[in-house]
Structure 1
Amino acid sequence: MNEQYPVLKEAEPFYYEGGPTGILVIHGFTGSTQSMQPLGEAYREAGFTVCGPRLKGHGTHYEEMEKTTYQDWITSVEEGFQWLKERCERIFVTGLSMGGTLTLYLAEKYPEIKGIIPINAAIDLPAMKEFEGAKEPRFLDAIGSDIKAVGVKELAYEKTPVCSIQEILILAEQVRAHLSDITCSALVFVSKEDHVVPPENSEEIFANIASLDKEKIKLDNSYHVATLDNDQSLIIERTLNFIRTHI
């Protein structure tokens, strides 16, 4: 399945070659790499090797996303992980929203991952469950740009395909069932107020991963897209500290 629409400006994947420590940076559902670019650039400036893959069907058009499955999204991040493995001695993974879900998925499957940093990760989306098995409507209104900071906009789709909602529900359920397989170091960020993913998701993640070395940080001044919100500098500072401590 070839993608037919051009990739939007600022939605391109990014690759920065640096030192022997690699960081995989994963964007969220209906979003794009634009939401993770500030983190990617900060990690590059700190001397790390960075990969920010574009999830298949994202950063183009929502009709493209409609044709993709959660396995396609897994393939996208595994390709990025492989790119880092060929260049780095150790790898950390961070992701926002569904990017956080995919971060957890990778940690469940690849125990060699050194540490994970899920940000408002999704494992239980009750508001979306009413669309399980639904054929209509085909699209819902956008879920992007849940940002507290004034004047900041996320590059995300203006419509959400219902069949894509069904795909993220499958992914979330699978990841949720295997949280206890995660043993690597973990730094979990959770926004106190989030209008897309209930904060209880991060509480459950933190409680159920088997990592002995884990920390949870509450974000008091950001909504869902925290990587573009008021706590962006805090996230960057704390993640850099976490990574440097665990190298």
Structure 2
Amino acid sequence: MIQDSSYFLPGNRNGVLLIHGLTGTPNEMRILAKGLHQAGFTVYAMQLAGHCGDEADLCQTTWHDWYTSVQEAAQFLQQHVDCLFVAGLSMGALLALKLAADQPELIKGVGVYGVTFSYDGWSIPFWAKQFFGLLPLLKKFHLFQKTSFIEKPPYGLKDERIRATVAASMFSGDSASAGLAGNPFPALAEMQTLAKQMRRQLPQVTAPCLIMHSGHDDIANINTNARLVEKQVSGATRFVVLDDSYHLITIDRQRREVINQSVAFFENIAQST
């Protein structure tokens, strides 16, 4: 059964919508949410459609459903703020960029954390790097639809203590706390389709973008993912390379750096609007 794990932290008239990643939960944005809130921002960490349940719940949704839930969350937060920012982790960053591309008059800035167009980091097996691009086609023909890609260590985390805690929650079946242990092929296929769509839309992003990515990302290589955003968006960019984290930068060793950079970036824009 799907639980509602989203949370709203009221603050000033500057709001940040936070979007988690594929098979993830709003919990992976909680430390960042608290940091932004302590700096005065109103924060809404939303839950993507189909998430925080089981694999069957997730597989009943498409990327359109995920994006619709983002649009609805933005509408909710818009009622409480005058200046709206959006930030996402991994696939959440793709959805954040899409919202900025589709509603340039609404979104004043974007936080792009560990953005993932391609699963091509150093921990991804060679076969998977080649195979994942075929998933939309396989889904079209209803092939391998009961299969999942099971993550292996380091699970996007360089901090071993946090990694152990997250892994224990993930494999206990508590998907509302730490997300799913497996990535179902149908969901991965939907993400591939979303990534293809977003590649085309990057030039439509006119809002300033804070791009933060690990130089040692185990899931998404910095050069083929974050650098793509830097090169293709039309808005101004600030690019920050993290050297002591893996993929989940919002909860890994440099989570405080993510908070500090985000607060400074969003405050600077809010003060100039």
Which residue in the other structure is 1:203 paired with? 227
RCO greater where, 1 or 2, for CA within 8 Å and sep 6 or more? 2
Secondary structure of 2:15's partner?
strand
Give the letter aligned to residue 91 of structure 2.
M
Deviation track 1:95-132 (CA, whole Å, cap 9, x = no partner) reads 10000000110110010211001101122346221323
Match of 1:131 among 127, 130, 135: 135
Structure 1, residues 53-111: CA drift from partner, whole Å, max 9, x if none?
11011111122101110011001111110011111111111110000000110110010
Q: Following superposition of structure 1 onto structure 2, how do residues 203-242 of structure 1 map, counting pairs within 5 Å?
A: 203-211=227-235, 213-242=236-265
User: Aligned to 1:81, which of 68, 74, 87?
Assistant: 74
Q: Does 1:70 align with 2:70?
A: no
1:41 aligns with 2:30: no
1-structure distance, mates of 2:92, 2:257: 19
Which residue of 2 is the match for residue 16 of structure 1? 9
* Alignment RMSD: 1.5
Report the CA distance shift for 1:6/1:177 in structure 2 as closer, same or farther (over 3 A): closer
Letter in 2 for 1:225: L
> Does the 8 Å contact 1:93/1:117 carry over to 2?
yes
Contact 1:24 1:51 (8 Å CA) reproduced: yes
Partner of 1:181: 204
Structure 1 contact 107–182 (Cα < 8 Å) conserved: yes
Identity of aligned residues (%): 28
Q: Distance in 2 between matches of 1:109 and 1:143?
A: 32
* One-letter amino acid of the structure 2 residue matched with residue 226 of structure 1: I
Partner of 1:106: 99
Q: Name the CA distance, whole Å, in 2 between partners of 1:138 and 1:181.
A: 36
The AA in structure 1 aligned to 2:188 is I
Aligned partners of 2:89 and 2:112 also within 8 Å: yes
Offset of residue 196 of structure 1:
1.6
TM-score (norm 2): 0.84
| TM-score calculated relative to the size of structure 1 | 0.92
Q: SS where residue 91 of structure 1 aligns?
A: strand
Question: Where do 5+ consecutive residues of structure 1 fail to align?
Answer: none
- CA–CA distance in 2 between the matches of 1:130 and 1:110? 31
Aligned partner letter, 2:227:
E
User: Alignment length, in residue pairs?
Assistant: 239
Q: Is the 8 A contact 1:119 1:188 kept in 2?
A: yes
- Distance in 2 (CA, whole Å) between partners of 1:119 and 1:70 is 19
Q: Is the 8 A contact 1:30 1:156 kept in 2?
A: yes
Query: How far apart, in 2, do the equivalents of 1:48 and 1:194 lie?
Result: 29
Gaps of 5+ in 2: 121-128, 167-177
Alignment of 1:156-195 (within 5 A): 156-195=179-218
Distance 1:203 1:244 in 2: 24
1:118 corresponds to which residue? 112
Please state how far the C-alpha of 1:140 moved relative to its aligned partner.
1.9
- Give 1:152's match in structure 2, choosing from 141, 144, 162: 162
Q: What is the deviation of 1:156? A: 2.0
Rounded Cα–Cα distance in structure 1 between residues aligned with 2:219 and 2:67: 21
- Between the aligned partners of 1:17 and 1:82, the Cα distance in structure 2 is 15
